[in-house]
Chain A
Amino acid sequence: MKKSRVFALSVSALILSPIMFGGLTACQPSEQNENAVVDAASFYKGKKIKWIIPYSPGGGYDEYARLLSPYLRKYSGARFDILNLPGAGGMRGANELFTSPSDGLTIGMINGSALVTNELVGIKGAQYKIGEFEFLCRVVSDIHVLIVSTRSGYDSFEQILNAEEEVIIGATGLGGSTYLDAVISKEAFGLNLKIIHGFDSSSVIRQAMLRGNIVGSWGSWGSAIDAVDDGRHIVVLQSGTERNADLPDAPTVFEMIEKSSNQERTLAIVTAWESLNAVGRVVATAPGTPAEKVEFLRAAFEKTMHDPEFLKDLKQAGRTISYASGDEMSNIVARATAMPDDIEQLFVRAIKGEL
């Protein structure tokens, strides 16, 4: 018995050591070539960039990444390999991105708005600081809409404002975006809402709406489009400062401020809310990445998202973008995290479900 154990150990050591030696000799610490300002373009030519997507394969984030990749390759010379790392509602991917080496070879597409709210609340398990990411660009900032079922009898926001009985609104998880939107809108406009959260997904919510169990819910416009087209749901309110081209009939939250009884407070809440939404889905790389590489990648994204061929592909896929440069992103994130204290308290309590 003992002989084989020794054998086993030595075999393991034998197998391990070439790997270790291989690792040792193959590595080249990236900081060693500081003497010359590394020409980013030649650095990236032919390299493989890992693109972290914090969700399971097949979702919207994947689709954006896939649409962007060929053009990014054209403008950067590097190949983009999508890596799906689902878990903890996107936090796992964000953590992985934050702790990845700052050599400019790992980027990630993360839900910026959700990460900001997570950080506001100080959620457990977050290894990142949203402000410290190196932002490359914003891909899209989803429009949030309040949709109601045509069965519900409500067809405008005014009706909901003046509703005498409780309007039942559905939401997914506590602290999630559909929940937060519902609670904040209730606070901002003094709505008479009963918010039932805990639905697994927006699909289940929509089924409940079809059945007439609930009146409506908040969600992103992208996921509501087909139901609205079918005439089963209508949009009664949208986020944003001006009406989106696809939604000419639904008032924006800013327009509705005048109906509120405490306009100043409502304005403050809605402004903060909007700044959160503005963060949207962003592409970022690890903190500490050298400036030239960040600039190079930012330029690649900028060229890609203005490329007419790309825009054509985008349209065909039925997706929209709302580009913001990496520079702008730092400001946008700063605005989102720098709310006035009382508003921040409000949001924190809302996310925690204390409202």
Chain B
Amino acid sequence: MHDKQSVTKSGDRVEEQSVANKKSLELCFIIVVGLIVAAAFFSALGYDLVSARTPLVIMVPLLILIGGHFMRVKKASRNTDVVSILWAVVKGENQNFNIVAGFSGWMVLLLALIIVAGHYVGIAALMFILLRVVSREKILLSLAITTGVTLMIFILFELGFDIELHRGAIFKIWL
């Protein structure tokens, strides 16, 4: 039997945790974005005046807003232990982050694979890995979906639309 009180408590705790996570995430996000915009600001200063006008006009209020917002988020998170949350992420203990990072990693791998070995190899590999390796789907299902979708894309784009999908650097070197 579930003790109502403990369920609520752990539900609260989970929510608290996720709110705290969000705040830390936003803090990092704002810092990174702020840094990028600041970098853009400084490069824009070196541009021809006519070209630099508009970007600078945009970036001044943007930087002010980012600064103000940063203060706001910082104030809202003064009770949260941001550092330990971030440390947990770095240590690999934050589940969500790991999933997201892993997913991004696979996508980047796909891109590299596409460039090197061609579009079809890339997408087939990505699908198969995501289906079988990461999600542990049945091997037959994974293979079926991988081949089916790859084939469909081939038919649709190459035969149907006459768009040649990237063949891959490997071929360019050898042939």
A residues with CB within 8 A of B: 4, 7-8, 11-12, 15-16, 19-20, 23-24, 26-27, 81, 83, 101
- Does B124 touch A at the CB level, under 8 Å? yes
Which residue numbers of B lie inside 8 Å of A, CB to CB? 113, 117-118, 121, 124-125, 128-129, 132-134, 162, 164, 168, 170-172, 174-175
What is the minimal beta-carbon distance from A93 to any residue of chain B, in angstroms? Answer: 14
Name 8 A/B residue pairs within 8 A (Cβ), A-sorted: A4-B133, A12-B113, A12-B125, A15-B121, A19-B121, A23-B174, A26-B174, A81-B162
> In the complex, how many angstroms separate the beta carbon of A231 from the nearest chain B beta carbon?
36
Bound-state Cα–Cα, A101 to B175, Å = 9
A334 → chain B, closest Cβ, in Å? 31
A residues near B168, Cβ cutoff 8 Å: 19
B95 to chain A, nearest CB (A): 12
In the complex with contacts A15-B124, A23-B171, A27-B175, A8-B118 CB distance below 8 A: no
With beta carbons under 8 angstroms apart, the residue of B117, B132, B172 that contacts A19 is B117
Q: Is the CB of A11 within 8 A of B175?
A: no
Task: Point out the residues of chain A lying under 8 angstroms from B134, CB to CB.
Answer: 4
> Once the chains bind, are B118 and A11 in contact (CB under 8 Å)?
no
B129 adjacent to A19 (CB under 8 Å): no
Asked if A15 meets B175 with Cβ closer than 8 Å, knowing A4-B133, A8-B133, the reply is no
Chain B nearest Cβ from A190, distance in angstroms:
27
B135 to chain A, nearest CB (A): 10
Q: Bound state CA distance, A12 and B162, in angstroms?
A: 28
Q: Are A12 and B170 in contact (CB under 8 A)?
A: no
Task: Determine whether the beta carbon of B129 is less than 8 Å from that of A24.
Answer: no
For the complex of A and B, 7 pairs with smallest distance between CB atoms: A27-B174, A23-B174, A8-B133, A27-B175, A4-B133, A15-B125, A23-B170
- Report A4 CB to chain B, min CB distance, Å: 5
Q: How far is the CA of A4 from the CA of B113 in the complex (A)?
A: 19
In the complex, are the beta carbons of B117 and A11 less than 8 A apart?
A: no
Whether A19 pairs with B118 at a CB distance below 8 angstroms is yes
Q: Given A23-B171, A23-B174, A101-B175, A11–B128 Cβ distance below 8 Å?
A: yes
Taking the closest CB of chain A, its distance from the CB of B122, in whole angstroms, is 10
Q: A23 to B121, Cβ gap below 8 A?
A: no
Q: How far is the CA of A159 from the CA of B53 in the complex (A)?
A: 37
Is B133 touching A11 in the complex (CB atoms < 8 A)? Answer: yes
**In chain A, what residue has the closest Cβ to B164?**
A83
User: Do B175 and A12 touch (CB < 8 A)?
Assistant: no
Residues on A with C-beta less than 8 A from B117 are 16, 19
Q: Cα distance A27–B175 when bound, in Å?
A: 5
Chain A residues near B125 (CB, 8 Å)? Answer: 11-12, 15
Give the residues in chain B near A11, CB-CB below 8 Å. Answer: 125, 128-129, 132-133
Residue of B nearest to A353 (CB): B48
- Residues in A neighbouring B175, C-beta threshold 8 A: 23, 26-27, 101
A25 closest partner in B (C-beta): B174
Q: A83 to B168: give the CA distance in the assembly, Å.
A: 16
B170, closest chain A residue (CB): A23
Tell me, rounded to whole Å, the shortest Cβ–Cβ distance linking A96 to chain B.
Answer: 11
A-chain residues with CB within 8 Å of residue B113 when the two chains form the complex = 12
| Cβ–Cβ < 8 Å partners of B170 in chain A | 19-20, 23
- Least CB distance from B148 to A in Å reads 16
Give CA–CA (A101, B129) in the complex, Å: 34
Judge whether B171 and A16 touch: CB under 8 Å. no
A16 to B109 CA separation, bound complex (whole angstroms): 13
Chain A residues contacting B121 (CB-CB under 8 Å) are: 15-16, 19
Q: Closest A residue to B171 by CB, please name it.
A: A23
A283 to B3, CA, bound (A): 80
- In the complex, what distance in Å separates the CA atom of A20 from the CA atom of B174? 9
Report whether B174 and A15 are in contact in the complex, using a CB–CB cutoff of 8 Å: no
Considering the chains assembled together, what is the distance between the CA atoms of A4 and B106 in angstroms?
Answer: 13
Chain A residues with Cβ below 8 Å from B124 are 15
From residue A89, how far is it (CB to closest CB) to chain B in Å? 17
> Which residue from chain A places its CB closest to the CB of B133 in the assembled complex?
A8
Cα A24 to Cα B175 with chains together (Å): 8
Residues of B within 8 A of A24 (CB): 174
Instruction: Using CB atoms, name the residue of chain A closest to B50.
Output: A198
List chain A residues, Cβ under 8 A from B172.
101
Given contacts A4-B134, A19-B121, contact A12 B129 (CB under 8 A): yes
A349 and B125 alpha carbons, distance in the complex (Å): 52
Chain B residue contacts of A26, Cβ below 8 A: 174-175
Chain B residues near A101: list those with CB within 8 A.
172, 175
